[in-house]
Amino acid sequence: MPIDVPARVLANRRLSDDYNVLALAAPAIAAATQPGQFVMLKAAAGVDPLLRRPFSVFEILRDTSGAPNAITVLSKRIGPSTRLMFDAEPGGVMACLGPLGRPFAVVQPPSEAWMIAGGVGLAAFATLAEALAARGVKSTLFYGARRGEELFYLDLFRARGVELVLTTEDGSAGERGRVVGPLDRRLAALDPAMPLMLYACGPEAMLAATARVAARHRRPCQVSVERIMGCGLGGCYSCVIPMRDEDGAFHNVRSCLAGPVLPADRIRWD
Amino acid sequence: MDLSVRIGSLILKNPLIAASGCFGYGVEYAEVVDLSTLGAIVSKGLFLEEREGHPAPRIVETPAGMLNAIGLQGIGARRFVDEKLPELRARGATVIVNVCGTTLDEYVEVSRLVSDAEGVAAIELNISCPNIKEGGIQFGCSLNGTFDVVSAVRKATSLPVIPKLTPNVTDVASFARAAEDAGADAVSLVNTFLAMVIDVETRRPRISNVVGGLSGPAIRPIAVRMVYECRQTIKIPILGMGGIVDARDALEFLIAGADAVQVGTANFVDPFIWSKLTAGITDYMDRHRIARVADLVGSVDTAERTAHT
Structural domain spans, chain A? 3-100, 112-266
Q: Which CATH number fits the domain A112-266, given the four candidates 3.40.50.80, 1.10.1030.10, 3.30.70.100, 3.40.1190.20?
A: 3.40.50.80
B139, part of any domain:
yes
Three-state secondary-structure class, residue B237? coil
Alpha carbons A95 and A7: distance in angstroms, whole number = 6
Closest CA of chain B from A250, distance in Å: 9
Least CB–CB distance from A228: residue in B28, B52, B57: B57
Alpha carbons B19 and B26: distance in angstroms, whole number = 10
Task: Enumerate residues 6+ apart whose C-beta is below 8 A from B206.
Answer: B57, B60, B67, B197, B198, B199
Three-state secondary-structure class, residue B297? coil
| From B100, B129, B141, B230, the catalytic residue | B129
Verdict on whether the full-model pTM lies above 0.90: yes
pLDDT at B139 over 90: no
Closest CA of chain B from A21, distance in Å: 23
- Chain A neighbors of B276, CB-CB under 8 A: none
Percent of chain A with pLDDT over 90: 99
B98, part of any domain:
yes
Closest CA of chain B from A1, distance in Å: 7
B290, part of any domain:
yes
Closest residue in chain B to residue A238, using alpha carbons only: B58
What mean pLDDT value characterizes chain B?
A: 95
The ranges of chain A with pLDDT < 70 are: none
Q: Across the interface, do A50 and B70 touch by the CB < 8 Å criterion? A: no
More confident residue, B156 or B132: B156
Least CB–CB distance from A235: residue in B23, B52, B65: B23
B87, part of any domain:
yes
* ipTM value: 0.93
**pLDDT given at position B307:** 74
- Chain B neighbors of A50, CB-CB under 8 A: 61, 64-66, 216-217, 265, 269
Three-state secondary-structure class, residue B96? strand
Q: State the DSSP string of chain A.
A: --EEEEEEEEEEEE-SSSEEEEEEE-HHHHHH--TT-EEEEESSSSSSS-S-EEEE--EEEE-TTS-EEEEEEEEE--SHHHHHHHH--TT-EEEEEEEESBPPPPP-TTSEEEEEEEGGGGGGHHHHHHHHHHHT--EEEEEEESSGGG---HHHHHHTT-EEEEEETTSSSSEES-THHHHHHHHHHS-TTS-EEEEEES-HHHHHHHHHHHHHTT--EEEE-----S-SSSSS--SEEEEE-TTS-EEEEETTTT-BEEEGGGBPP-
**pLDDT given at position B161:** 98
Domain of residue B24, CATH code: 3.20.20.70
Q: Across the interface, do B268 and A42 touch by the CB < 8 Å criterion? A: no
**pLDDT given at position B140:** 85
- Chain A neighbors of B32, CB-CB under 8 A: 1-2, 233
Least CB–CB distance from A235: residue in B55, B60, B268: B268
Least CB–CB distance from B52: residue in A231, A234, A252: A252
At B220-260, the pLDDT tens digits run 999 999 999 999 999 999 999 999 999 999 999 999 999 99
Long-range CB pairs of B281-289 (<8 Å, 24+ gap) are B281/B3, B281/B15, B281/B247, B281/B250, B281/B251, B282/B1, B282/B3, B283/B247, B284/B247, B284/B248, B284/B251, B285/B1, B286/B1
At A93-112, the pLDDT tens digits run 999 999 999 999 999 999 99
Q: Across the interface, do A236 and B268 touch by the CB < 8 Å criterion? A: yes
Alpha carbons B217 and B244: distance in angstroms, whole number = 6
Least confident range from B132-136, B171-175, B255-259: namely B132-136
The boundaries of the domain holding residue B84 are 5-45+72-190+215-296
pLDDT band of B131, cuts 50, 70, 90:
low
Closest CA of chain B from A55, distance in Å: 15
Q: Across the interface, do B271 and A4 touch by the CB < 8 Å criterion? A: yes
- Chain A neighbors of B192, CB-CB under 8 A: none
At B259-289, the pLDDT tens digits run 999 999 999 999 999 999 999 999 999 999 9
**pLDDT given at position B309:** 63
Closest CA of chain A from B304, distance in Å: 33
CA distances to A138, A145, A225, A233, B4 from A130, in Å: 11, 22, 21, 27, 53
pLDDT band of B134, cuts 50, 70, 90:
low
- Chain A neighbors of B24, CB-CB under 8 A: 233-235, 237
Q: Which CATH number fits the domain A3-100, given the four candidates 1.10.3720.10, 2.40.30.10, 2.60.40.180, 3.90.76.10?
A: 2.40.30.10
Domain count, chain B: 1
pLDDT at B152 over 70: yes
pLDDT at B135 over 80: no
**pLDDT given at position B132:** 64
Residue B164 near residue B125 (C-beta atoms within 8 A) = yes
Q: How many CB pairs under 8 A join A and B?
A: 97
At A124-161, the pLDDT tens digits run 999 999 999 999 999 999 999 999 999 999 999 999 99
B124, part of any domain:
yes
Which of A48, A100, A237, A270 to probe by mutation at the B interface, max B CB count within 10 Å?
Answer: A237
Catalytic residue at B100?
Answer: no
pLDDT at B133 over 70: no
Residue A28, CA atoms < 13 Å, CB-side half-sphere = 11
pLDDT band of B303, cuts 50, 70, 90:
confident
Three-state secondary-structure class, residue B74? strand
